[in-house]
Structure 1
């Protein structure tokens, strides 16, 4: 699911496109959450935590439909360190709810989200692999 990949990934060399896509495909509430998370003034933002030396990639493992507008997405989030050439992998899960909006919008937003897909709820949690 591209939304999860854009929302969760981070690379200082490629911030603009994922940010714009998440912005275009999010409801106002989810957009505000994302903006707060990404602000350079937030001490926990990816920019502050990882800077230019680290980047995050995302690999979606599974998508399970819970109902007509809700999915459970399992994914791996890998933190890559350019300086040490090491990786840290975390197993994550996201619950995503969405709707299709027909509200008027700008051409720029339509180019990024032509179907009016809007995520209305986005929550992630750590997945434990211990048995």
Structure 2
């Protein structure tokens, strides 16, 4: 039997040396599975990178609440920021405390502690601020509270806000409340004071250091009224608590 006759008896035979294996269903399934796994891994990597990017950008999109407060007496508008977690920075807290103490001591008039306040303000002041304060209490000055007020009159001071304008400068908003002895009413005035200050390490006596341990000194002090006329108030008791 010749070769050609034998091939005719076998019939058509698949070519195993060419692309015949490429048409195998099992092999196609394996290729599809590998491709799917590759695509899934790439998608997971992209998702992970997006998550990292969003986490890094989160602090940039933090919403900070602001509250606008309007003073009913003067119309002064003030922006109040929401409190942030954590303590107030030490230097800022000390500066605000010194400013509050200074303004209260300087603006309060009470015969019982006038000498103590005078010593504190003169110690905590320097230059023009000290000279102006001493002149304001000079008995020869017709605008001196020693001339304007009877000895039993008390002028108390309440701080409303302290804003640091920059290094060595601050804006303090406060009001004063005058109460004459035996009176059922008094008057309240609203003020702002621009205070220039510094901290100095200059030597001082031990008793002065006890009163001013940080060396806080006010160099300039300018007070301006927020309202033209004082606001009348009524007192609800013998202690002089004002009625809202």
Q: TM-score, normalised by structure 2?
A: 0.51
Segments ≥4 residues shifted beyond 2 Å: none
The runs of 5 or more residues in structure 1 that have no matched partner are none
CA shift for structure 1 position 71: 0.9
- Structure 2 unpaired stretches of 5+: 1-99, 229-244
1:115 aligns with 2:214: yes
Larger relative contact order (CA 8 Å, sep ≥ 6):
1
Given that 2:137 and 2:144 are in contact with CA atoms closer than 8 Å, whether structure 1 keeps it comes out as yes
Is residue 39 of structure 1 aligned with residue 135 of structure 2? no
- C-alpha distance in structure 2 between counterparts of 1:86 and 1:31, whole Å: 33
Q: For 2:169 and 2:144, how far apart are their aligned partners in 1?
A: 27
- SS of 2:130 mapped into structure 1: helix
TM-score by length of 1: 0.91
* Separation in 2, partners of 1:48, 1:98: 29
- Whether 1:103 aligns to 2:202 is yes
Which has the higher Rg, Structure 1 or Structure 2?
2
Match of 1:25 in 2: 124
Give 1 or 2: higher helix fraction. Answer: 2
Among 191, 206, 213, the alignment partner of 1:92 is: 191
Query: Which protein is richer in strand relative to its size?
Result: 1
Distance 1:46 1:83 in 2: 19
Displacement of 1:30 in angstroms is 1.0
Within the candidate set 168, 173, 181, 1:69 is matched to: 168
Maintained 8 Å contact 1:12/1:51:
no
| Cα pair 2:171 2:195 within 8 Å, conserved | yes
Instruction: Write the distance in 2 (CA, Å) between the matches of 1:111 and 1:46.
Output: 28
Q: What are the Cα deviations for residues 55-75 of structure 1, in whole angstroms up to 9, with x where unaligned?
A: 100000011111122111110
CA distance in 2, matches of 1:111, 1:41: 32
Distance 2:200 2:128 in 1: 14
